[in-house]
Chains A and B, each alone.
Chain A
Amino acid sequence: MSVQVNTKQAEALGGDVQKQAVQGADIFIQSLQNEGVEMIFGYPGGAVLPIYDALYKNPIPHILARHEQGAIHAAEGYARVSGKTGVVIATSGPGATNLVTGIADAMMDSLPLVVFTGQVASAVIGTDAFQEADIVGITQPITKHNYQVKDVNDLPRIIHEAFHIASTGRPGPVLVDIPKNVSNEVFTMAEVKQTEVNLPGYQPTTTPNFLQIQKVAQAIQKAEKPLVLAGAGVLHAKASEELTTFIEQTGLPVTNTLLGLGTIHGEHEQFLGMAGMHGTYAANMAICECDLLINFGARFDDRLTGNLEHFAPNAQVIHIDIDPAEIGKNVPTDIPIVADAKEALQALLKLGIKTDGIEQWSNHLNSMKEEYPLHYKREEEGILPQEAIELLHKHTGGDAIVTTDVGQHQMWAAQYYKFNHPDHWVTSGGLGTMGFGFPAAIGAQLAKPKETVIAITGDGGFQMTLQELSLLQESQIPVKVVILNNQCLGMVRQWQQTFYQERYSQSLMPSQPDFVKLAEAYDLEGYKVTSLDEADEVFEKAMNSNKPVLIDCRVKQIENVYPMVAPGKGLHEMLGVK
């Protein structure tokens, strides 16, 4: 343990100098090292000065974002692709409140984060002190759990618990609020040792009930029209290999939620594409027609199910989820299983389940896949956003890590970028956060330095967090930013066109910066492409470059995402099917 011993202060406290007098902030750093933290995303400020001072002495690599929101989205991207817990530090008050969007985003998409916020000194908490905000109160409904450290002696235990809670069971964000006097406090203690976590109220179930697993096997054998739905739970459990084996062993057709993309190869013959509001015809009709729906780690979100009255009306539903509260929340479940997706799949694989007589069903689904594929109408000039995604796929071979914000570009990326690998798709699903994709790409790139990372954003979302271009410049992080620039908020505009008689209220943004010049201002390579040939050429160059690149890709403004299930409609009522 290498902490500075402040003898004077320790003596003043009557401490045993020989024993090691340390500051709360040193204990903080040591606790992070014990948890194996590789990097911290953060932004300094008054209440975290002691922590940043300790960081100066004991360097864990720190990524200095230009806005706390950028820091936390980067930590989310890091967590999503690496499977490790993302660590964020911000100061009290505005620093902490700037994290709120990211915390809510991580909560909705079950990303493991431990977020540390500074707090004003204990003595002035509750007095509306300078830069004071009740961040524990503010984040209570959007964290898996949160803490305020009241006594420096509790700090190692709380940090250890925070990492445990964030990364086990259903992952999620945990916030630890540290008053400045706690990180400043000098005290004596033996070396920080990791103790056993003692949380009697938190005992997640990961092993499936064997009787329930047997029921699943029987149901699969009996079913004539079975279907597997795989969600992000499979990715969190690192079980995409088991899922693929299970699918191939049984011959079951499979569909994904938005966040589940990558659990199975995007071009696998049994894969029907994504289901839901902008899902494929084959996937949505499979849900409507199936007689057995096996859900691995998806939470039946409304963007997936559409109108619940019409969701899988003929199906017996099996729901395997690590969070018991998700089972039966939206869709009545016939066979509930609380388990980790990997353990459930392993148990199912052991049974060697074989399906019987589902060829007719598979053929039916395959013919729907062939007859009603995703489609768009090519045009003579300009670039269609769908074509841009297909070009990106072509130049990366489906191997890239892709991040997005929310909206049209997100849906086109989900539809047209066929992922070869799990954990290569980083998107804001549940919360639908604009400005998420670009900083998330930075975190993803830092976690996987050798992979190609593309941030596909819209012109609207990019302008929400573009200040993080500084990070690309500073550390030459080779993220490829591709702005699908339609000079409007595409999805808002699409809904206004479809449901509000083309009253484009505040959704058109004709005035915007020159993104190429913006890149140049940050000393980065920037390109503007307006034709397919240009795009082809620039994408090829950019995807093979080891430098950061920004591409302003001009796409057609009035172009809609199809197919589409209008809000309140059932999955069988799709618009814009070929």
Chain B
Amino acid sequence: MMKRVITTTVINQSGVLNRVTGLLMKRQFNIESITVGHTEQPGISKMTFVVHVEDQRKLEQLLKQLQKQIDVLKVNDISDKAIVTRELALIKVLSPPAVRSEITSIIEPFRATVIDMSKNVITVQVTGDPEKVEAFIDLVRPYGIKEMTRTGATAFVRENQKTPSQQLSIL
């Protein structure tokens, strides 16, 4: 299994998200996360998926099937490029006064922020690449996670590409 980050630029028609996720379901691709939002161009949205694919052939098939959609303008597999990836997570952690300062000391190095607080629970917002978010969750888990929500990754290709990127042979 390979984990790939794929971005698509789509025309912001009603149902376009449905079309793309429906296609992935129909062709049995496994989505780990998906984010959608507007771009700098009006009427154009960008989706970022993290997917698991079996092999190179399956990956090529996925990219081609996405490209075939009428409302999809561009498809890029950016996994092998120099990219920046960000995700946001909101986590409610049990924090009775006894351990609160301990938890705060974990929050600090992750540059996470406390955005809500009640008697026994604090709500933490953490952003970063998915691995960092993962690491933070692992550290606070022992204290008890009451509730959690994650946005999924969104990604950009870096302006300066230092490593030569692998090209797919799509004609």
Contacts and interface: CB of A to CB of B under 8 A. Distances in A.
Contacts of A199: 70
Residue in B10, B23, B170 with the greatest tally of chain A CB atoms within 10 Å: B170
Given A145-B70, A328-B57, A201 B23 contact: no
A136 interface: yes
A372 B72 CA distance: 50
Contacts of A338: 171
A141 B26 contact: yes
B67 A324 contact: yes
Contact of B73 (A165, A200, A332): A200
Contacts of B4: none
A8 interface: no
B60 A328 contact: yes
Contact of B23 (A141, A144, A165, A332): A141
A397 to B, nearest CB: 42
Residue in B11, B14, B68, B71 with the greatest tally of chain A CB atoms within 10 Å: B68
B70 to A, nearest CB: 5
A24 interface: no
Contacts of A150: 14
Given A140-B15, A141-B26, A212-B171, A325 B61 contact: yes
A105 interface: no
B144 interface: no
Interface residues of A, number: 25
A201 B11 contact: yes
B165 interface: no
A363 to B, nearest CB: 36
A328 B18 contact: no
Interface in B52-71: 57, 60-61, 64-65, 67-71
Contacts of B170: 324
B168 to A, nearest CB: 11
A203 to B, nearest CB: 10
A136 B13 CA distance: 13
Nearest to A137: B18
A70 interface: no
Contact of B65 (A140, A201, A325, A327): A325
A328 B61 contact: yes
A338 B171 CA distance: 7
Contacts of A148: 14
Interface string A162-174: 0001000000000
B70 A201 contact: yes
Interface string B85-108: 000000000000000000000000
A144 to B, nearest CB: 8
Question: Range of interface residues on chain B?
Answer: 20 to 34
Given A328-B61, A332-B57, A338-B171, A140 B19 contact: yes
B22 A324 contact: no
Nearest to A326: B64
B171 A325 contact: no
A329 B61 contact: yes
Contact of A165 (B14, B57, B64, B70): B70
Nearest to B15: A136
A336 interface: yes
A336 B168 CA distance: 13
A102 to B, nearest CB: 19
Contacts of A165: 70
Nearest to A204: B68
Contacts of A200: 11, 73
A439 to B, nearest CB: 27
Nearest to B56: A328
A289 interface: no
Contacts of A209: 171
A337 B61 contact: no
Contacts of B19: 140
A201 B64 CA distance: 13
A324 B171 contact: yes
B70 A141 contact: no
Contacts of B70: 144-145, 165, 199, 201-202
Interface string B15-37: 10011001100100000000000
A201 B22 contact: no
A538 to B, nearest CB: 47
A362 B78 CA distance: 48
Interface string A126-164: 000000000011001100110010100000000000000
B73 A325 contact: no
Contacts of B69: 201
Contacts of A145: 70
A325 to B, nearest CB: 4
A323 interface: yes
Contacts of A141: 22-23, 26
A119 B141 CA distance: 51
Nearest to B68: A325
Contact of B68 (A323, A327, A328, A337): A323
A479 to B, nearest CB: 36
Contacts of B171: 209, 212, 324, 327, 336-338
A144 B169 CA distance: 24
Contacts of B61: 325, 328-329
Contacts of B65: 325
A336 B26 CA distance: 25
Given A325-B65, A338-B171, A201 B71 contact: yes
A209 B170 CA distance: 12
A200 B11 CA distance: 9
Contacts of B23: 141
Contacts of A323: 68
A141 B69 CA distance: 11
Nearest to B13: A147
B91 to A, nearest CB: 35
Given A137-B18, A201-B71, A323-B68, 20 more contacts: A140-B18, A140-B19, A141-B23, A144-B70, A145-B70, A200-B73, A201-B72, A201-B73, A202-B70, A209-B171, A324-B67, A324-B171, A325-B61, A325-B67, A327-B171, A328-B57, A328-B61, A329-B61, A332-B57, A338-B171
Interface of B: 10-11, 14-15, 18-19, 22-23, 26, 57, 60-61, 64-65, 67-73, 169-171
5 closest Cβ pairs, A-B complex: A325-B64, A145-B70, A202-B70, A201-B73, A141-B26
9 contacts: A137-B15, A140-B22, A141-B23, A200-B73, A201-B11, A201-B70, A201-B72, A209-B171, A324-B68
